[in-house]
């Protein structure tokens, strides 16, 4: 599990390179990540990693998320980027794990995956099918939490295999397990037992892809 202190120190190194090797403080990191300084201090005290903000930080600088999980010298980051696969991260799209939610803003930012991470998501052959979006809501806890970033393989557009899927319905975009009923209906099933399955007509459900990995915002 990555350590928030190590990650913030790496960000400080990168910012130091950008501003002329001056000393970089936590307030500079908070500003670069677009996080309130007090919020960042609280996250440090709880060893909680702001994955979403770090992904955006990396995307703007074309830096692989590999630097977040593995040790690399700062000077090699830009050069090493060419060795990584690029996928689209839709930072403004949320798949709801609660009530329906769909943000129509579909601008994406690049996310760079190293070979080891990519292998866990299906290997190089899967790159053209991968996207990343955010989770909103609590109905998939404890598997997925609000604020998690999930990787979706768009090649899986049917529910013949068990797993968690991204589905589009008239009520919005959902992230659920699917159960096909003999009467032609589909049950959208939550992992949080507080939520009862939602039954919808098969014609009202479009499967957009299967969740094949995540970056969690909680420990």
In this structure, what are the phi and psi dihedrals at residue 208, rounded to the nearest 5 degrees?
A: -95, -20
Given a contact cutoff of 8 angstroms between Cβ atoms, the answer to whether 56 and 66 are in contact is no
**What kind of fold does domain 1-82 have according to CATH?**
434 Repressor (Amino-terminal Domain) (1.10.260)
Domain locations in the chain as residue ranges: 1-82
pLDDT tens for each residue of 11-47: 888 888 888 767 889 999 999 998 999 989 988 888 8
In this structure, what are the phi and psi dihedrals at residue 169, rounded to the nearest 5 degrees?
A: -135, 170
pLDDT tens for each residue of 175-187: 999 998 888 899 9
Beta strands at 109-113 and 85-96: parallel, antiparallel or unpaired:
antiparallel
pTM for this model (two decimals): 0.64
């Amino acid at each position: 599990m990555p350590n928030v202190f190590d990650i913030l120190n790496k960000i400080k190194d990168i910012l130091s390179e950008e501003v002329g090797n001056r000393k970089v403080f936590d307030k500079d990191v908070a500003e670069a990540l677009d996080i309130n300084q007090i919020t960042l201090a609280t996250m440090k005290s709880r060893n909680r990693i702001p994955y979403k903000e770090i992904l955006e930080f990396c995307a703007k600088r074309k830096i692989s998320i590999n630097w977040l999980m593995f040790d690399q010298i700062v000077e090699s980051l830009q050069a090493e980027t060419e060795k990584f696969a690029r996928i689209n991260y839709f930072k403004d799209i949320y798949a709801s794990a609660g009530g329906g939610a769909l943000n129509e803003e579909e601008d994406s930012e690049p996310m760079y995956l190293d070979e080891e991470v990519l292998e866990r998501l299906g290997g190089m052959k899967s790159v053209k099918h991968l996207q990343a979006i955010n989770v909103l809501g609590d109905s998939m806890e404890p598997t997925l939490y609000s604020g998690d970033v999930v990787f979706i393989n768009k090649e899986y557009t049917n529910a013949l295999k068990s797993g968690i899927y991204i589905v589009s319905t008239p009520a919005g975009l959902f992230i659920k397990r699917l159960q096909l009923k003999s009467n032609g209906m589909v049950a959208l099933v939550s992992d949080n037992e507080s939520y009862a399955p939602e039954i919808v007509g098969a014609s009202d459900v479009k499967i957009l892809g299967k969740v094949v990995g995540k970056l969690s915002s909680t420990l």
